[in-house]
Structure 1
Amino acid sequence: MKNLIEEANLLDVLGFTIPLPSHLQSRLNEDILTQEFRRKHYLLRPGEICKRLYFVCSGFIRAYFIDQNGKECTTWFVGKGDLVISANSFFNQQPSYEYIQVLKNCKLQSLTWHQINALYAEFHEGNLLGRIFIQKYFINSEERSMFLRIQQPEERYDRVMSAHPDLNLQTTQTNIASYLALSRETLSRIRRKKISKV
């Protein structure tokens, strides 16, 4: 019973998004692959092609790239109930420029690029689900781009901590600072200020 409460399920999320006919549910049950990965495992590395779209049942994941100075630049964090994908690599089936790394032991469910395109071709509901999730992905991407450009450092910190309340327990301060486009020192000052107000 504990695992049912602590884990998300891709089929449940899809069914909550739109009603799924029984024949599509059966097909998804056949296609969905469930796997477990340990902390520090890489789902993707630069030069590899992202061949699967993952759904996080449990655990925590980040994506990052290495800049021209050799510095890790974290681009996103995802946890339970989120999708994991390197969009450019997956949709174009071309080599990735980023790493996707497991930060906390994960249980993931996934579909391949070929399976998803078959679902688009064979099921009207497959197309609708694809459109809904792609729209959500682009909205989230645009929001992140805007908050990095417009919001002040403390606002950025508050926003990411609201989205991931346990982030300090899931990853390093270096990764959090990188995601927020801040120095470690600036992040430390913000955290001290927040703690002093508690």
Structure 2
Amino acid sequence: MEQLFNHIQGYNKLSVESIEALTDSFEEVVYSKNDFLLQAGQVCRHLYFIKNGAVRGYYIMDNKEVTYWFGFENDFVTSFHSFITGQASVENIQFVEGSILWKISKEKLDHLLNRYHEIERLLRIAYEKYYIRLEERFVNAQFKTAAERYENLTQQSPHILERIPLGFIAAYLGISQETLSRIRNQF
């Protein structure tokens, strides 16, 4: 849990009482490569923190998998819409590597948010970071060429290229695997 709290303290300093309350509320879980954290149609009832490993978020469109985000160490992951609204998810979250996570249920988190203002602030900051990543992803998809999206990926997130299969990267960039191979040869 030390990794989780070191990461959290980077967002917002927490009191000893808040840290103890969080410690009592999180549970460690282990998943294997290709396991699902969540499948479309399920309700997401937990927020997760990745201790180690990698996941991808994707949905199915016209019988094709469209990967639109990746999560790695020190990322909070969940199906945010499902987690917040209690509605069924339209996305799938699948492990790309064997992973260890810390999870907290929506009910426990809501209880902590009502009791500790500093935890509420922490969650707000985490949601803001998620929103910024989502907006950056939208801007990249709408206003940049495939080559520009790949170059941006190599500069801002080179670890993705080292840890994620090329087929998932191509789907993430919104291009075919063949187009990705041509672009990679240009760099």
TM-score by length of 1: 0.89
Q: Secondary structure at the match of 1:166?
A: helix
Q: Write the mapping of 1:1-198 to structure 2, written as runs, cut at 5 A.
A: 9-67=3-61, 69-194=62-187
Quote the offset at 1:160 in angstroms: 2.0
Equivalent residues, number: 187
Quote the offset at 1:8 in angstroms: 7.6
Name the CA distance, whole Å, in 1 between partners of 2:37 and 2:91.
10
Q: 1:64·1:75 contact (CA, 8 Å) conserved in 2? A: yes
Query: For structure 1, which runs of at least 5 residues remain unmatched after alignment?
Result: 1-6
Comparing 154-163 with 42-51, greater Cα deviation is found at 154-163
Name the CA distance, whole Å, in 2 between partners of 1:61 and 1:187.
21
Name the CA distance, whole Å, in 2 between partners of 1:108 and 1:45.
17
1:46-88 CA-partner distances (Å, limit 9, x unpaired): 1111111111111111011111x20010010111111111111
Q: Secondary structure at the match of 1:35?
A: strand
Q: 2:14·2:119 contact (CA, 8 Å) conserved in 1? A: no
Q: Which residue does 1:3 correspond to in 2?
A: none
**What is the aligned-residue identity percentage?**
31
Partner AA of 1:33 in structure 2: E
Query: For structure 2, which runs of at least 5 residues remain unmatched after alignment?
Result: none
* RMSD, aligned α-carbons: 1.5
TM-aligned CA distance change 1:45 to 1:127, over 3 Å: same
Name the CA distance, whole Å, in 1 between partners of 2:171 and 2:66.
5
Partner AA of 1:191 in structure 2: R
Q: Which residue does 1:4 correspond to in 2?
A: none
Quote the offset at 1:126 in angstroms: 1.4
TM-aligned CA distance change 1:108 to 1:39, over 3 Å: same
TM-score by length of 2: 0.94
Comparing 162-171 with 178-187, greater Cα deviation is found at 162-171
Q: Secondary structure at the match of 2:43?
A: coil
